[in-house]
Amino acid sequence: MAMLSGAKLGRAVLGMTLAAAAFAASVPNAHADDYPSQPIKLIVPFAAGGGNDGIARLLGQVLSDGLKQPVVVENRPGAGGKLGVEQGLKAAPDGYTLTLISNSYSVNPSLYKLPFDPVEDMTPIGMIARAPFFVSVNPSVPVDSLGELVALAKKKPGGLTYASSGTGGISHLAMEAFLKTAGISMVHIPYKGSAPALTDTVSGQVNAMLTTAGSTLPYREDKRLKVLAVTLPQRVSSAPDIPTVREAGVPYDVTVWYGIIAPKGVPPQVQAKLNAAINAAVVTPEMVDRLKATGEEAAPGSPQAFRDQIVKEISLWGDVVRQAGVTVN
């Protein structure tokens, strides 16, 4: 066999390297072309039965029809959602493992030391739905509007209490942001979950709470809660008579949202297919009706818009955590 000169050997090695790289790059694309060809796992980083789980299972059913593959929901609760998200982001970046996230994903970087970068270590797929909080008070509180609540709180600094689903949760931080914007103070009473917090607000053990539509409106109908305002920039169709916080002169709004992410490195073709499938799923009559029944609305959009929302809220909630001095064990 003839020996190659140094220059020729170098060119040969370079050629083989480039050929190998080209082949390697073509493999994900080949798999992406026939995606999906097997069942998809959708990780929910919270326990079964909650709002996140309900959204995931509803989406999974509709998405399965659109993608022609089963979407299997897997609950992996723990540590405020950190554990399930970490497991989801460690999966192969092939589009067969997705993770449902909500606002807590943007909160956690300010509360915990995370083993992943919440922006750089994920592929954004898209938002699913959004919903408001309602500023609700027990009927014993002598106010009939948000303006009156703000005035009462200013008259009695620290004299009112509010419940949340737990320290560092989105309902806690969203209320802290409202209090700061309104220039008032209330005493925080944390609970282990939204259900006991709501129970004590309805019973009068606590004065106020930021509640969700699904839990709020039935209690409003039987006059066991006064609902003073909605936290979206505009009124909601399910209760158009409830004014926004901004209408009371407080420049504040917060949206509760749910979305889907995947591990870093998912091929662009797969990302695009998933985004298109989710955007189509969330506007089907079945999903629109089911979301409306619990006070949510479909929120289709692009992966970039979803990424921008996450980045914006990491900064927003970081400021709230620092200003309110929130810490978790």
Query: CA-CA distances (angstroms) from residue 205 to 93, 129, 140, 263?
Result: 48, 32, 10, 44
In a domain, 238, yes or no: yes
In a domain, 189, yes or no: yes
The pLDDT tens digits of the residues spanning 87-112 come to 999 999 999 999 999 999 999 999 99
User: How many angstroms separate the CA atoms of 175 and 86, rounded?
Assistant: 28
Tell whether the model's pLDDT for residue 8 goes beyond 80. Answer: no
Q: Which of 207-211, 241-245, 295-299 has the least mean pLDDT?
A: 295-299
Q: How many CB atoms lie within 10 A of CB 157?
A: 10
In a domain, 20, yes or no: no
Task: Tell whether 196 and 97 lie within a shared domain.
Answer: no
User: How many angstroms separate the CA atoms of 46 and 62, rounded?
Assistant: 21
The pLDDT tens digits of the residues spanning 258-291 come to 999 999 999 999 999 999 999 999 999 999 998 8
Q: Is residue 32 within 8 Å of residue 269, measured between CB atoms?
A: yes
Task: Tell whether 95 and 139 lie within a shared domain.
Answer: no
Give the per-residue pLDDT at 191: 92
Please tell me which residue, 32 or 262, carries the higher pLDDT value. 262
Task: Tell whether 83 and 165 lie within a shared domain.
Answer: no
Task: Tell whether 260 and 125 lie within a shared domain.
Answer: yes
Phi, psi of 302 (to 5 degrees): -90, 160
Task: Tell whether 153 and 296 lie within a shared domain.
Answer: no
In a domain, 15, yes or no: no
User: Could you tell me the residue range of the domain that residue 188 belongs to?
Assistant: 132-248
For 314, the 3-state DSSP assignment is: helix
Residues in the chain: 329
In a domain, 10, yes or no: no
Mark which of 248, 268, 288 sits at the end of a domain. 248
Task: Tell whether 126 and 139 lie within a shared domain.
Answer: no
DSSP 64-128: HHHHTS-EEEEE---GGGHHHHHHHHTS-SSSSEEEEEETHHHHHHHHS--SS-TTTTEEEEEEE
Mark which of 203, 224, 248 sits at the end of a domain. 248
Task: Tell whether 270 and 126 lie within a shared domain.
Answer: yes
DSSP assigned state of 5: P
The pLDDT tens digits of the residues spanning 131-171 come to 999 999 999 999 999 999 999 999 999 999 999 989 998 99
Tell whether the model's pLDDT for residue 17 goes beyond 70. Answer: no
Mark which of 222, 248, 274 sits at the end of a domain. 248
Query: CA-CA distances (angstroms) from residue 251 to 152, 172, 177, 181, 254?
Result: 19, 18, 11, 7, 11
Task: Tell whether 277 and 188 lie within a shared domain.
Answer: no
Angle at 193 between CA 183 and CA 213, to 5 degrees: 70
User: How many angstroms separate the CA atoms of 75 and 49, rounded?
Assistant: 10
Query: CA-CA distances (angstroms) from residue 224 to 65, 201, 215?
Result: 41, 9, 12
Tell whether the model's pLDDT for residue 329 goes beyond 80. Answer: no
In a domain, 329, yes or no: no
pTM: 0.83
In a domain, 138, yes or no: yes
Task: Tell whether 228 and 170 lie within a shared domain.
Answer: yes
Two structure tokens written together for 50: 């909650």
Tell whether the model's pLDDT for residue 11 goes beyond 60. Answer: no
User: How many angstroms separate the CA atoms of 60 and 163, rounded?
Assistant: 32
Two structure tokens written together for 134: 């309602």
User: How many angstroms separate the CA atoms of 166 and 226, rounded?
Assistant: 22
Task: Tell whether 136 and 237 lie within a shared domain.
Answer: yes
- The CATH number linked to 280 is 3.40.190.150
Task: Tell whether 222 and 267 lie within a shared domain.
Answer: no
Burial class (CB in 10 A: 0-12, 13-18, 19+), 124: buried
Two structure tokens written together for 66: 């659109």
Two structure tokens written together for 61: 């059913």
Two structure tokens written together for 218: 């039935």
Task: Tell whether 313 and 289 lie within a shared domain.
Answer: yes
Report the domain count for the chain.
2
In a domain, 142, yes or no: yes
